Amino acid sequence: DLYRKVFVFRKDPSDAYVVLRARLEQPLHNFTVCLRSYTDLIRPHSLFSYATKAQDNEILLLKPKPEEYRFYVGGKFVTFRVPESSRDWEHVCASWESATGIAEFWLNGKPWPRKGLQRGYAVGATAAILLGQEQDSFGGGFDLYYSFSGELTDVYLWDTGLSPDKMRAAFLSLRLPPALLAWNSLSYEVKGDVVVKPRLWA
């Protein structure tokens, strides 16, 4: 149980990462991924990487620069421009639905303008899911220039698009629906220099 704990990625750049295990029975036609990060990196870094054997950027949350997030589905991406962070925790949620191809992006409990991405696509179920690195092959092929350094917490993956109320609940750390990946019952394996520590904020 990682309640009120964080992963600390200590080095920059780093070859460390965390493997997450989710039991996916079938391809995803809808999903939401949420997480909270804290870093002083200004170079590109990967937050959440979900790769299949067919597509290394099946789902990817990447921050190429301080004022931009990229959200990938099936190798294609949309960009969300954000205010440059004040070096504070940032909570992001990204959701996607195949039927409309609508991608939603929420930063610190607020929605950004929706964008179109990969309408009719299905996200493969047999996946390598990693925090802290960007996969260029299934479970590997890392470029250290995209490694994450800092703190990560509150990682979730749902096989549905969350409602606006639930998006805000995720930001406020309130009760959330059952998830494929849930921070308080996470099945994970640390690879390299990552330490689990209590979080420093209330």
Domain range for 21 is 5-198
What is the model's pLDDT at position 39? Answer: 96
Q: How many Å apart are CA 74 and CA 59, to the nearest integer? A: 7
Q: Would you state the pLDDT for residue 113?
A: 98
**What is the arithmetic mean of pLDDT over 100-124?**
98
Read off the pTM.
0.97
Tell me the pLDDT of the chain averaged across its residues: 96
Q: Is the pLDDT of residue 110 over 80?
A: yes
pLDDT value of position 184:
95
Work out the pLDDT band at 201, boundaries 50, 70, 90: confident
Count of the separate structural domains present in the chain: 1
CATH (domain of 56): 2.60.120.200
